[in-house]
Chains A and B, each alone.
Chain A
């Protein structure tokens, strides 16, 4: 099993940025007023931030990274690792990490790479960052994570349009001998790859003038083309109910930590009903289980750091805290991490 610990890595800062443009699901015309209320109450998304055409995830991550470097008084010259986790990269090629390395003024001695993961990406990427830094050869790293999902949702698809919001985040990590272990439990089930998919635009189904733009009625209220996100909500829902709680229980047992020892469980903001079901199954108190889905929607890979910046900014800046993060979804891919933080620089959510 992919359960393991990484020593000597400290989170120095977390920042999140979102587009200024706010959209309310109360204005979504494909749902009746009653359906809007039910959706907001059950799925939990009232408002979302939406990037204008041309605004990329890397723009949001760039602003978050700049604010961290300034707030931490870190020199760009000292950053030797940059990992960009996203499923909404700037171009098909090249990788976005290199573009960000240059734009942020990081040195040429910097390792820069992309990881293509969504809901689980923050947890997965943290493990790669940690592993690359734990020997001490690399002392400072920037971990840039986020998605602009709204470009790829169809307005006529009730199952995706009101769900997703856009955000980009930056997390600063440093090598610090003696920093307490981060422990991970990472899992995959690629048999479910079609559960959340944008079918066209990659090499398998290359963009086609005839096929890719053609709108199809999948069912009542679900009309989209092949560049849009197709979400099998029921499949993802059942997957999450089945897999997330056992993954967390196995991790806590491995790490020798009890549920009561955790100050906050910061979960991928998938869907309030789903997240609440997981909370109730694990018998976690509501106060330890923050949300950002109401104000920002499902922000894919950005959801964990965005939730921290939105709800826990002053606490994480002033206290030592024991966290559990858990991400689950597209892939299908899921994972959890337990880690301790100690006075993390965390500015308010940035709007651009």
Chain B
């Protein structure tokens, strides 16, 4: 699994209207993303294409900080 910094860079690349460099591991996800259905789908698709991991909408809702999401994705990627 890649580092959290690289994880964040790739997330910033996926969401075009997002300024780069603003997101940190401790960033609270809700303050940066609206989890409407389309953004959630974009995120789920991104994680699946990049890391071959499938996460659910609940996984997104239950992750408070980007670090939490990174931990979840990397644990699933390592388990696969």
Contacts and interface: CB of A to CB of B under 8 A. Distances in A.
A242 B38 CA distance: 19
Interface string A216-260: 000000000000000001100110011000000000000000000
Contact of A241 (B38, B45, B57): B45
Contacts of B48: 241, 277, 281
A38 B38 contact: yes
A242 B57 CA distance: 15
Contacts of B38: 38-39, 42-43
B56 A238 contact: yes
Given A234-B57, A238-B54, A241-B54, A280 B49 contact: yes
Contact of A273 (B45, B54, B56, B57): B45
Interface in B37-72: 37-38, 40-42, 44-45, 48-49, 52, 54, 56-57
A42 B57 contact: no
Contacts of A241: 44-45, 48, 54
A273 B41 contact: yes
A256 to B, nearest CB: 25
Contacts of B40: 234
B37 A233 contact: yes
Interface residues of A, number: 17
A231 to B, nearest CB: 11
A176 to B, nearest CB: 40
Interface in A149-176: 159
A280 B14 CA distance: 14
Interface residues of B, number: 13
Interface string A261-287: 000000000000110110011000000
> Chain B interface mostly helix, strand, loop or mixed?
helix
A242 B41 contact: no
Contacts of A234: 37, 40-41, 44, 56-57
> Chain A interface mostly helix, strand, loop or mixed?
helix
Nearest to B50: A280
Contacts of A159: 37
Contacts of A274: 41, 45
B28 to A, nearest CB: 22
A277 B14 CA distance: 12
Given A38-B38, A233-B37, A238 B49 contact: no
B52 A281 contact: yes
Contacts of B44: 234, 237-238, 241
B62 to A, nearest CB: 14
Interface in A38-63: 38-39, 42-43
A281 B41 contact: no
Contacts of A38: 38
Interface of A: 38-39, 42-43, 159, 233-234, 237-238, 241-242, 273-274, 276-277, 280-281
5 contacts: A39-B38, A159-B37, A238-B56, A273-B45, A274-B45
> Which are the 4 A-B pairs with shortest beta-carbon distances?
A277-B45, A241-B48, A280-B49, A234-B57
